[in-house]
């Protein structure tokens, strides 16, 4: 990279890390939702305070 | 009806996105020539410019969806705005960090408070503000309305970012691609940049649809739980 390796590879590495982080966090969110749906054993009273999770 | 359809079309965006990312990076690193002035440091442009465009484009899209959701009480539209925000934040952050990493070898500094950089930083804060505001309000419909006001007010920042290099004397270079007129870079550089832009766009559609499906499910679940406890 003609002496600019840190800046060029740093840019692409940062972008890759952020994109991979977004994809993994979405997968985890999907997984958590699927688990919640399959096990409806959580009492409703426990979930009263969870309405603020609806938006993010 | 929307939920299963969104699930079916996600791979049609995700797979071409991965292919175009690979093609664009190959083009940018192996076909595009070294720049006469900046050497290989200019290759940051292939991620920096598409990320900056996506950050602005997604903000406008988010504001439109939030505005429609507010004006017509359209829940899906508001949920779409919520789904777009994190991806827009991510692209804006990428554009700021890659811009800083490009700035150091070319300008001698990672950061300068010039109009383009400052207005892009404000865009990042607007995204974070939108997400934080929505997260802070328990009632989803109230959160949607509050978010819509912020998104619509903040949209004024997008033309400021775009035209900042013309309106003010900035450290940041002028537009590489012009709506009217010829681009100022060679064809191979432009091709790599546009291919990665297309990849970013397809990626955004895929992740926004995945997030939208999550938001729909979360709201449905919470609504049924609240109904159970009689709230």
pLDDT tens-digit readout, B121-171 = 999 999 999 999 999 998 999 999 999 999 999 999 999 998 888 887 777
Tell me what ipTM this predicted complex has.
0.89
A-B contacts (CB, under 8 Å):
110
Mutation choice for A interface testing from B40, B62, B192 by most A CBs within 10 A: B40
Note whether residue B101 is domain-resident.
yes
Q: Which of B103, B94, B116, B112 is nearest to B48 (CA)?
A: B94
- Looking at residue B104, its pLDDT comes to 93
A43-52, B35-44, B73-82, range with the lowest pLDDT: A43-52
Measured CA to CA, the distance from residue B35 to residue B44 in angstroms comes to: 12
Q: Hey, which bits of chain B come out as E strands?
A: none
The answer to whether residue B14 sits within a structural domain is yes
Residue B79 lies in a domain: yes
What is the spatial distance between Cα B135 and Cα B21, in angstroms, rounded to a whole number? 32
Chain segment B68-83, per-residue pLDDT in tens: 999 999 999 999 999 9
Contact of B47 with A18, CB cutoff 8 Å: no
B143 in contact with chain A, both atoms CB, cutoff 8 A: yes
Partner-chain contact A33 B214, CB within 8 Å: yes
A2 vs B40, B136, B140: nearest CB: B40
Domain extent at residue B116:
2-32+42-228
Contacts of B97 in chain A (CB under 8 A): 11, 14
For the segment B48-57, what is each residue's pLDDT rounded down to a tens digit?
A: 999 999 999 9
Residue B166 touches chain A, beta carbons under 8 Å: no
The answer to whether position B92 is within a domain reads: yes
Tell me whether residues B221 and A19 touch, CB distance under 8 A: no
In a domain, B37, yes or no: no
> What is the C-alpha separation between B109 and B221, in angstroms, rounded?
49
Q: What phi, psi does A18 have (nearest 5°)?
A: -65, -40
Q: How much is the pLDDT for A36?
A: 83
**Residue B35 forms beta bridges with which residues?**
B39
Whole-angstrom Cα distance, residue B140 to residue B133? 11
- CA distance linking residue B197 with residue B4, whole number of Å: 27
Residue B135 is assigned to a structural domain of this protein:
yes
Residue A43 above 70 pLDDT? Answer: no
Distance from C-alpha of B64 to C-alpha of A43, rounded to nearest angstrom: 38
Best residue of B193, B196, B225 to probe chain A, by most A CBs closer than 10 Å: B225
Q: Is any Cβ of chain A less than 8 angstroms from the Cβ of B142?
A: no
Residue B7 lies in a domain: yes
Distance set, CA A43 to CA A39, B100, B198, B228, B230 (Å):
11, 49, 46, 10, 13
Above 50 in pLDDT, residue A47?
no
Domain count of chain B?
1
B206 in any annotated domain: yes
């Amino acid at each position: 990279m003609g002496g600019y390796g840190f800046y060029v590879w740093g840019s692409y590495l940062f972008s890759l890390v952020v994109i991979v982080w977004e994809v993994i966090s979405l997968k985890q969110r999907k997984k958590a939702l699927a688990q919640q749906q399959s096990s409806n054993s959580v009492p409703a009273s426990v979930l009263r305070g969870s309405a603020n999770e609806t938006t993010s | 009806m929307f939920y299963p359809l969104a699930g079916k079309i996600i791979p049609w965006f995700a797979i071409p996105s991965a292919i175009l990312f690979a093609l664009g990076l190959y083009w940018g690193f192996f076909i595009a020539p070294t720049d006469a002035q900046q050497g290989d440091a200019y290759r940051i442009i292939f991620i920096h410019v598409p990320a900056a465009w996506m950050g602005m484009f997604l903000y406008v899209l988010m504001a439109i969806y939030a505005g429609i959701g507010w004006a017509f009480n359209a829940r899906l539209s508001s949920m779409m705005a919520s789904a777009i925000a994190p991806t827009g934040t991510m692209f804006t952050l990428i554009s700021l960090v890659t811009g800083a990493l490009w700035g150091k070898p070319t300008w001698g500094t990672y950061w300068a408070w010039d109009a383009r950089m400052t207005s892009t930083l404000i865009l990042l804060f607007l995204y974070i503000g939108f997400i934080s505001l929505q997260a802070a309000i328990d009632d989803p419909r109230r959160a949607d309305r509050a978010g819509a006001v912020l998104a619509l007010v903040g949209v004024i920042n997008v033309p400021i970012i775009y035209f900042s290099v013309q309106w003010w004397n900035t450290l940041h270079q002028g537009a590489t691609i012009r709506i009217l007129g010829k681009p100022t870079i060679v064809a191979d550089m432009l091709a790599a940049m546009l291919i990665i832009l297309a990849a970013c766009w397809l990626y955004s559609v895929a992740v926004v649809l995945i997030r939208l499906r999550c938001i729909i499910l979360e709201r449905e679940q919470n609504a049924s739980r609240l109904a159970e406890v009689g709230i």
